[in-house]
Structure 1
Amino acid sequence: AHNGEINTLWGNRNAMRAREPALTAPVWGEGVERLKPVIWSEGSDSASLDNALELLVRSGRDPVHALMMLVPEAHEGAGEMDPALRGFYEFHECLVEPWDGPAALAFSDGVLVGSALDRNGLRPCRYKVTRDGLVVAGSEVGLVDLDPAEIVESGRLGPGELLVVDTRRKAILHNDDAKRAVARQRPYDRWAARGILPLRPTARLPDTPSLDEAERVARQIAFGWSFEDLRYVLEPMSSAGQDAVWSMGDDTPIPPLARVPPSLYVYLRQRFAQVTNPPIDPLRETLVMSLRMHLGRRASLLADRPGGLRLVQNEHPVLLAEEMAALRAVVGAQAVTLEATWQAASGPEALRAALDGLCRAVGRAVRQGARIVILSDVAANRDRAPLPMPLAVGAVHQHLLQKGLRTRLGLVAEAGDAWDVHHFAALIGYGAEAVHPWLALDSVRHQVEEEDAPARFRAAAEKGLLKILSKMGISTLSSYCGAQIFEALGLGAEVVDRCFTGTVSTIGGIGFAEIAEDVLARQRKAYPEGTTPEPALPDHGRVRYRRDGEDHGWSPPLVRAMHEAVAADTPPAYDAFRSRVAARAPASPRDLLAFRAATAIPIEQVEPAETIRRRFISTAMSLGALSPEAHRTLAIGMNRMGARSNSGEGGEDPDTYLPLPNGDRADNRIKQVASGRFGVTTQYLVRADELEIKIAQGSKPGEGGQLPGHKVTALIARLRHSVAGVPLISPPPHHDIYSIEDLAQLIHDLKQVNPRARVGVKLVAEAGVGRVAAGVAKAYAD
């Protein structure tokens, strides 16, 4: 049983299904088939963890051993750890990924009883021991009334720690003693050293010739690159070593309605945690986060022996060229490279056939002894079009799962269409254990002069991966790999069922034929017929407006029309603005809807406009993201209408709390309380008609806001109690909210400060948000 959430649940369930064909143990013999499925698919996260723990215990391990396997402490960077204990964790991380999340656990097999915390330790677990040997442990103080004079010991568990009571020996085992006893039962450190090969480049690669300019540009076009990807993604990553910082939000059409066909990655949207399983802060929790992965054939989860353990341990899921060469050299003939390309001249229908052939080839490679399969599109050229790598990885991963072969090999994507952090996350999330972005690295070497530019690009990509993991409250990449923590936006059932099985795709969308047409259209642009001049990299205008590029909801022509309508203040001028808006191509499902003809309601039955508009709000934009003048003008306008504006997360200037000479109110009736708590003071809270606790935001779900240093003026620094010129970052979670109970406490506190204000909680719509919303209502939000 546990108090908390298992944030890694999707990945843990998927991984256990993959392991089931390889489960063997002497205690079960032929009866092992009766154990399957190990995880009850309808069960809660507690039930799923209990299923896994019971499997290990009934197969011969004691509960402490089993729990140390499933919920290990963070050991990757713990230099002071006992070598035997480190060896235990290194051996077992080859068998099972962490079940992780903010969780306080209680466990027993009827003889041993224990409590434990996950590696983050974000849920409390306190304990007391009395003179007569009673041990009480729980998340809250005061669960049991105890005489203070009888208490001989009290304390709380730290991250990854456990406390065990052995009723047979009548002994209390604290963290170090309990773990040391388990770790020294077998020579795990020796087994791990013998069976795990760290991936290290043995020598610098010889200077291989880079692609010539014309061929590089042609391949970039064929793989869906644009000028913006080089300028605004690749250059910041490879020069500054940081993922690019963007203005949040996106006013371009959803992928199926885009004017310029986007890459397949854009159809996959990352899911994120909110309230009950909150995101974690990747900056504050650096010590418990890990990108370590293992490549190769896995042993049975139930085997407590080294067997044929031969895995390659990799600390960097984004592989540089020299690491890719080292991987091929270390594994030798058991590393098989398969082409992820197809004959362009065969037309759109050949894409599906190419996927079928690739899956059959992987199955043959496994049966012939391959331990690592590399899906590569390096061979893409004028005649052979690349398979979109998410399709290739997803189809192969699902094929191996269906055939019961997934744990018999590691999967690497050698991808020309991967250059952005989201691309790497999607490939890993759908089954790749490492990615070699060969075209991105070649482009980096050409685009940025510094010798260490590829390493900086990789560092930026991996920082971005940690941020994506943290959005879901996950600490380790091994628990994210194959977890499929995405929703599809605009992909049809045939694609989802074949390549992204189990992914939610609410509105349906395009199939293999449309994907193939998009690939072939890029192929024709990359390799035009005849004597056409060599093509230049297109500027799709997705980041900033371009006349011939992607459509934008707030394009300069629309903004100018709005300015003219406001300046003229006449119905014809507003009609001209409205007609421009109506002339836009559909950008979202809402634009495809129309009103059915029906009998009109008598106007007398309709509320007056003045009543209706009181329900309007202007959504949250902080003082800092907006200029003080714009922030103030929005507030005044909405207040004049009797409607409400929202302050955003940056606080307010107290000068606006004084009424203006004409009676206008210049502050916001809705005041936001966000994770950074910038500008949140008692004076700020008592002025609100409504208080909004921002848990998540649609334009950046699972992330905190970020105000660049150049926007932090003296005024903004004063209001946010900071220093001018210093970037201000709100953490992804509220550091005092890791459960519904914590949220209820903040709601209660806010109502004590301002009893007349309604308190709301801002969430983001995603599959399953209803359960979270029900929890918010139970926490007494209005």
Structure 2
Amino acid sequence: PNRLLMHNGEINTIRGNVNWMRARQKRLVETIFDENDRPKVHAVLDVDGSDSAIVDNALEFLSLAMEPEKAAMLLVPEPWQYSKANQSAVRAFYEYYSYMMEPWDGPTMIAFCNGDKIGALTDRNGLRPGRYTVTKDNYIIFSSEVGVIDVEEEDVAFKGRLNPGRLLLVDFDKHEVVHNHMLKAEIASELPYETWLKKHKVDLDLEVPFESKGWDFETVERLQKQFGYTREEIHKYRAELVRGKKDPIGAMGYDAPLAVLNERTESLFNYFKQLFAQVTNPPIDAYREKIVTSELSYLGKEGNLLVPDTDALNRLQLKHPVLTEAQLKVAENGPFRAKHLSTVYSGSLEDALAVLREKAVEAVKAGYDILVLDDSSLRDEPGYAIPILLAVSYLHQALITEDLRQETSLVAKGGEIREGHHVACLVGYGANAVVPYLAQETIAALVEQGELSGPVEAQVKTYTDVLAEGVIKVMSKMGIS
């Protein structure tokens, strides 16, 4: 099934990668093909193929508009946020394209060839080995292990291994082996990415303190009951999370009844289980290997991956996807148009989703580049809240179907959100950012009641940061960095 590459490993993010490529498909096809050829392209990716076949589809398609080595750098980028190993121009290249492309992440060794060039690339964690030997009579031998082909030591000109995230290229036209630093420096110098970032990057001060709504205890408690909070999780889990400043340690052997078999109503989040990486597809140690992790998320319209310009930077880069309402207000007052869509309804849930879809599509076509799915009006009006995970995933897929997903970003402002697992589900199913407003108000109430000590703003910030760290913990267990 592979036309351009050979792949050893697994792409652990494949479902999300497929959805986002589907979202970009119309724009990418319109950029590459003329009006006569566009109707012939029905799908960029063959989703019935293996992860290797799908990444081959993506690399082949991007290689229609750029050199395959550059396309490989976009699909499997090096860590740039915390690592200073690369030149600043190369880090700027990776940061720029992070505004428009998410990594295809997992233990990966890719070798590719288009007839003129042959290259190889390792994943950012180096979880798949790659070794090469260059002989004096101009042969290059590349494989996962040493000794696949016997070469006399006196015939060896050079030996090497591909370090994590490194790229190796053999250019048949130039008759040379191009090594990682030289190759990436050349690609990064094609456009002034570093200058663009310095001049055009949206820079808003999100270091604003939490602002409590000032709700009385009865209001907070009523909403907690509506969203299924329990005393045990408030006092034994949430309070301890803030005191310890870390997500409590969980066990892989979770023996609670499956939500689908429970006679009582459960949160939609409980119907989803986290996958665990194991054996040759290992979990990541996010604490000791923080250099390879990334919590970044973006708000605003996504640029055209194949037409790089400064307009692509008209997005807000978030350090992590969990926000307070005060931070969301700062983003809404920036160079963006935000629209709040209420997810509170009465009557049929199916009808409510149809109305929500209609309003969302109308808002995106009107130019709103941030849609906030908001159930906070439940405080003042009767009704029910559409499960926030259902609302986000439904709109994410609806906007993909309408070819509008790139034109906006989705923010989940939900009272149901209160755990790292909840945030991970929402991000996995299409949310760009999350505002757990009721959970944050709950922390503020615990401070006011004396159960937590210290300023309200500091304790809510601790809770918000720990939630974001919980997402990294979930990703790490799944082998995603």
For normalisation by structure 1, the TM-score amounts to 0.57
- TM-aligned CA deviation for residue 458 of structure 1: 1.9
Distance (Å, rounded) in 1 between the aligned partners of 2:298 and 2:31 = 26
Does the CA contact (< 8 Å) of 1:25 and 1:303 recur in 2? no
The amino acid of 2:42's aligned partner reads: K
- TM-aligned CA deviation for residue 437 of structure 1: 0.4
**Any idea what the Cα deviations from partners look like across 1:446-488, whole Å, max 9, x if unmatched?**
212322111211222122211211222111xxxxxxxxxxxxx
Distance (Å, rounded) in 2 between the aligned partners of 1:154 and 1:253 = 55
My pick for the range that moved more, 378-387 or 4-13, is 378-387
- TM-aligned CA deviation for residue 296 of structure 1: 1.5
- TM-aligned CA deviation for residue 320 of structure 1: 2.3
**Any idea what the Cα deviations from partners look like across 1:130-153, whole Å, max 9, x if unmatched?**
112211111011121111001121
Structure 2 equivalent of residue 473 of structure 1: 479
Structure 1 equivalent of residue 344 of structure 2: 341
Distance (Å, rounded) in 2 between the aligned partners of 1:272 and 1:198 = 36
**Any idea what the Cα deviations from partners look like across 1:139-191, whole Å, max 9, x if unmatched?**
01112111100112111111100111111111211110000000001112233
Does the CA contact (< 8 Å) of 2:135 and 2:155 recur in 1? yes
- For the residue of structure 1 that corresponds to 2:474, the secondary structure is helix
Does the CA contact (< 8 Å) of 1:125 and 1:157 recur in 2? yes
- For the residue of structure 1 that corresponds to 2:339, the secondary structure is strand
Query: Are 2:159 and 1:131 aligned?
Result: no
Structure 1 equivalent of residue 358 of structure 2: 360
Structure 2 equivalent of residue 649 of structure 1: none
Structure 1 equivalent of residue 17 of structure 2: 12
**Any idea what the Cα deviations from partners look like across 1:551-575, whole Å, max 9, x if unmatched?**
xxxxxxxxxxxxxxxxxxxxxxxxx
Distance (Å, rounded) in 1 between the aligned partners of 2:250 and 2:55 = 39
The aligned runs of 1:77-476 (5 Å cut-off) are 77-201=82-206, 203-204=208-209, 208-246=212-250, 249-307=253-311, 309-332=313-336, 334-343=337-346, 349-381=347-379, 382-447=381-446, 448-451=452-455, 452-475=458-481
**Any idea what the Cα deviations from partners look like across 1:33-66, whole Å, max 9, x if unmatched?**
433311112222222111111111112x111111
**Any idea what the Cα deviations from partners look like across 1:586-620, whole Å, max 9, x if unmatched?**
xxxxxxxxxxxxxxxxxxxxxxxxxxxxxxxxxxx
Does the CA contact (< 8 Å) of 2:131 and 2:162 recur in 1? yes
Does the CA contact (< 8 Å) of 1:25 and 1:302 recur in 2? no
Structure 2 equivalent of residue 725 of structure 1: none
Structure 1 equivalent of residue 449 of structure 2: none
- TM-aligned CA deviation for residue 15 of structure 1: 1.2
Distance (Å, rounded) in 2 between the aligned partners of 1:64 and 1:246 = 41
Structure 2 segments unaligned to the other structure (5+ residues): 1-5, 447-451
Cα pair distance change 1:194/1:372, threshold 3 Å: farther
**Any idea what the Cα deviations from partners look like across 1:398-423, whole Å, max 9, x if unmatched?**
21122111111110001111101111
Distance (Å, rounded) in 2 between the aligned partners of 1:12 and 1:308 = 19
Cα pair distance change 1:126/1:250, threshold 3 Å: closer
Cα pair distance change 1:156/1:80, threshold 3 Å: closer
**Any idea what the Cα deviations from partners look like across 1:524-551, whole Å, max 9, x if unmatched?**
xxxxxxxxxxxxxxxxxxxxxxxxxxxx
Does the CA contact (< 8 Å) of 1:239 and 1:457 recur in 2? no
- TM-aligned CA deviation for residue 193 of structure 1: 3.8
Does the CA contact (< 8 Å) of 2:110 and 2:120 recur in 1? yes
Cα pair distance change 1:470/1:388, threshold 3 Å: same
Does the CA contact (< 8 Å) of 1:320 and 1:436 recur in 2? yes
- TM-aligned CA deviation for residue 106 of structure 1: 0.8
Cα pair distance change 1:273/1:204, threshold 3 Å: closer
Structure 1 equivalent of residue 57 of structure 2: 51
Number of equivalenced pairs = 467
The amino acid of 1:369's aligned partner reads: G
The structure showing larger relative contact order (alpha-carbon pairs under 8 Å, at least 6 residues apart) is 2
- For the residue of structure 2 that corresponds to 1:272, the secondary structure is coil
The amino acid of 2:180's aligned partner reads: N
- Structure 1 ranges of 4+ moved more than 6 A: none
The amino acid of 1:57's aligned partner reads: S
- For the residue of structure 2 that corresponds to 1:6, the secondary structure is coil
Does the CA contact (< 8 Å) of 2:204 and 2:330 recur in 1? yes
Distance (Å, rounded) in 2 between the aligned partners of 1:248 and 1:114 = 39
Distance (Å, rounded) in 1 between the aligned partners of 2:463 and 2:76 = 32
Does the CA contact (< 8 Å) of 1:202 and 1:326 recur in 2? no
- TM-aligned CA deviation for residue 125 of structure 1: 0.7
Cα pair distance change 1:252/1:171, threshold 3 Å: closer
The amino acid of 2:234's aligned partner reads: L
Structure 1 segments unaligned to the other structure (5+ residues): 344-348, 476-782
Does the CA contact (< 8 Å) of 2:208 and 2:327 recur in 1? no
The amino acid of 1:339's aligned partner reads: S
Computing the radius of gyration from Cα coordinates, the structure with the larger value is 1
- For the residue of structure 2 that corresponds to 1:269, the secondary structure is coil
Distance (Å, rounded) in 2 between the aligned partners of 1:462 and 1:471 = 15
Cα pair distance change 1:195/1:53, threshold 3 Å: farther
